[in-house]
Amino acid sequence: MKRPSFSQGFTLIELLVVIAIIAILSTVVLFSLNNARASARDTRRVADLRQIQLKLEDYYNTNSAYPSDVTAGACDNAETSLLTTLGLSGAGDPTSTVYGYGASATAQAYVLRATLENVSHTALSSDSDGTILNCDCADATGYYCVQS
């Protein structure tokens, strides 16, 4: 008895199902990858602030004062002037957001601020909160702050 012959290809429906599955999996992977990248940038911001904090303490040991507030409005654009003063030209926010810096009038206290992309980042549970030296350090807005 002769077997019926079947075509040797895939039907259009089978191909569409496979393409749809691949598209769904690609979307899930890309979404996860974007979250991982944002988390990595936040981790770098926290590490940068720790590095800047160490340099500020070294500056204080040498000069008996922290650098005076480098901008008219506290917590604005610490990257252009403060980082140059401290010799940290390599440090800088991984995106267009800038680090903030505010110093007291007597230059005996400071606050550093970075804006995190993930407002539920674990580092926000261990930072300084509230308004410090005219710097808003609210966790709800994603501000991560350290102070002297």
| Confidence band of 115 (pLDDT split at 50, 70, 90) | confident
Q: The whole model's pTM is what? A: 0.74
Alpha helices in the chain (DSSP H): 12-63, 78-86
Looking at residue 84, its amino acid is T
CB-based contacts of 86, cutoff 8 Å, min separation 6: 52, 55, 56, 59, 67
- Residue 88 CB neighbours (<10 A): 16
Interacting residues of 119 by C-beta distance below 8 A, sequence separation 6+: 139, 140, 141, 142
**What's the pLDDT band for 70 if we cut at 50, 70, 90?**
low
Token representation of residue 15: 């191909």
Tokens of 100: 């903030």
pLDDT digits (tens, 9 = 90+) for 118-136: 888 778 888 888 888 878 8
- Compute the C-alpha angle 47/53/56, nearest 5°: 145
Domain limits, the chain: 12-147
